[in-house]
Amino acid sequence: MRRFTIAVASLAVISLAACTKTVVQDGGATSATPVSLGGLTAETVGDPVVRLVEDVRPAVVNVTTDTMSADPYSEGGGQGVGSGFIVRPDGIIVTNYHVVETAQRITVTTPGPDSEEYQARVIGGDEAADLAVLKIEAQDLPTIPLGDSDELKLGQQVVAIGYALALEGGPTVTTGIVSALGRSIDATDPNCEVCTNHVRTYSNVIQTDAAINPGNSGGPLLNLAGEVVGINSAGAGSAENIGFAIAIDAAKPTINSAALNPSAPVAYLGVVTQSVTEGLALQFDLPVSSGAYILRLSPDGPAEKAGLETGDVIVSFDGEQVPTSETLGRLIRAHEPGDEVPVEVVSSSSGSRRTVSVTLGVNPLPQS
Q: Show which residues are catalytic.
A: 98, 130, 217
Smallest Cα–Cα separation from 92: which of 51, 124, 69, 117?
124
Distance between CA atoms of 93 and 120, rounded to whole angstroms?
9
Smallest Cα–Cα separation from 313: which of 292, 327, 298, 299?
292
CA atoms in the 13 A half-sphere facing the CB of 92: 21
In the chain, % helix, strand, coil (3-state, to 5) comes to 15, 40, 45
228 and 220 Cβ atoms separated by less than 8 Å: yes
Give 279-309 as a DSSP string: HHHHHHT-S-SSSEEEEEE-TT-HHHHHT--
Distance between CA atoms of 281 and 67, rounded to whole angstroms?
41
Distance between CA atoms of 168 and 179, rounded to whole angstroms?
29
